[in-house]
Copies of this chain bind each other. A is one copy, B any other.
Amino acid sequence: MLADPTRRAILERIGHAPAAVGEIAAGLPVSRPAVSQHLKLLKEAGLVTETAAGTRRIYRIDPRGLGAMRDWLDQFWRTSLDNFAAYAEAQAKEEEKE
């Protein structure tokens, strides 16, 4: 998902300020349909929302999706730290025996 550089660029672009598809594509070395396809995936992933404004579609960051991803990583980070600490402690006791 966030592996693609173009997709990250798009996210940072509309993370800075909401923008239409054409505007985003103008600042990137790819065509407009490519951006459109990325936005479709980002919308399905819940990272982006779309609002119609005339013929233009304004895309914005969806704080909920981004927050959820943050929470997930945060959770994983914490449990990993806990297990890391637990193992370090167990290791210390093991060496104490010898």
Residues on A close to B: CB < 8 A?
A: 1-3, 11-12, 15-18, 60-61, 63, 66-67, 69-70, 73-74, 76-77, 79-81, 83-84, 87
- The CA-CA distance from A3 to B69 in the complex, in Å, is 13
Main secondary structure of the interface of A (DSSP, over half): helix
Interchain CB contact under 8 A, A66 and B77: yes
Number of copies: 2
Tell me whether B70 and A84 are in contact (CB under 8 A).
Answer: no
Q: Are B3 and A83 in contact (CB under 8 A)?
A: no
**Can you name the residue of chain B whose Cβ is closest to the Cβ of A79?**
B15
B73/A61 in contact, CB under 8 A:
no
Given A60-B87, A63-B84, A66-B80, 15 more pairs with CB closer than 8 A: A1-B3, A2-B3, A3-B3, A12-B76, A15-B79, A16-B83, A17-B87, A18-B87, A60-B84, A61-B80, A61-B83, A63-B81, A66-B77, A70-B73, A70-B77
